[in-house]
Amino acid sequence: MSKKNLKYKLYGRSKGRKKISSTEIEDLKKNLLEYSQISSNKSIILDIGSGNGESSIYLAKKNPEKLIIASEVFKDGNVKLSNYIKKEKLTNIKIFNKNILILFDYLNSKETFYQIWILFPDPWPKKKHHKRRLINKVFLKSAYNFLSKKGQIFISTDSISYFLSILLIINKMNIFKWDNDKVYEWDYSQNKLFYTKYFKKSLNAKRKSFIIKLSKI
């Protein structure tokens, strides 16, 4: 396998068992991101791992003047979001249905995103799988380069080991300001944020969820 294929390798399923109709596929195609929409828009929020779209919908309604890019490879989630976009006639959400690294590789200009949201990325809890985790030094360096001046990154997880590893990386890199560095500010549920599917799962499992808020230095 080539280095390029290894870089873009995805783990886990990209499609569920539910049958998707041809109409839903056509509607999804209409909502897919075109690269030209990035170069022509100076106010973009990137939602990485948007799942069923709850976070993207929240961000779109809260920021009607901004373009929300919902980045998600799981087809069923993208179809659900596309159905909601059609039903509510939202005009400021576009779906990127490929590995986010492909989008990063396409971008040839810096300071593209106003904000980047990464809510409950797969924690890959087994130590032997930690290398599969999305958030590492290379990824955060890319994210930093594509953030606008004073841009922000929001990261949440219900994995203590993932939370600590992210903080360790950030501390070593010294390119972000940790905005919520007080212990009482880490609790996701106390930050009046939206309830995603995975946050609800963590609540049901009685796991504490953490939120990390970063600003570009």
> What residues are annotated to the active site?
122
Tokens of 8: 């873009």
Residue 44: HSE in the Cβ half-sphere, 13 Å Cα cutoff? 24
C-alpha span between 177 and 24 (Å, rounded): 42
- Looking at residue 109, the DSSP 8-state letter turns out to be S
> Hey, what's the torsion of the CAs at 184, 189, 193, 196, to 10 degrees?
140
